[in-house]
Amino acid sequence: MIEADAWRYDRWGRTLAAFVASLINTRPGWRRRVRPRDLWRSRFQAGAASVSREERQRRFEEAVRLMGPQAIPVRPRRKGVE
């Protein structure tokens, strides 16, 4: 849960950096182009030590086991999906 919150925070920061960089770059007389990565440094390196699908599944199952039977996610029934 903490990892997901950190990821969401990082994603929000990258989004804000993109908007602010576009506003800065529209200023007349501004000589240097500002990039979003100049304003926000991501905590997560792209492609660095990515977790395998099996490891994610194991972590998920462990979290569900710790939370108890009420935590099992329920998928809504959709038309044509069993």
Q: How far apart are CA 8 and CA 6, in angstroms?
A: 5
Q: Does the global pTM surpass 0.85?
A: no
Residue 26: its pLDDT value, please?
Answer: 85
Contact 36, 15 (CB under 8 A): no
Contact 38, 75 (CB under 8 A): no
Residue 60: its pLDDT value, please?
Answer: 80
Residue 9: its pLDDT value, please?
Answer: 82
Q: What is the mean pLDDT of each run of 10 residues along the chain (82 residues)?
A: 77 89 85 86 63 84 78 63 52
What are the residue ranges of helices labelled H in 26-78?
A: 36-39, 53-67
Contact 40, 13 (CB under 8 A): yes
Count CB neighbours of 39 within 10 A: 16
Residue 82: its pLDDT value, please?
Answer: 52
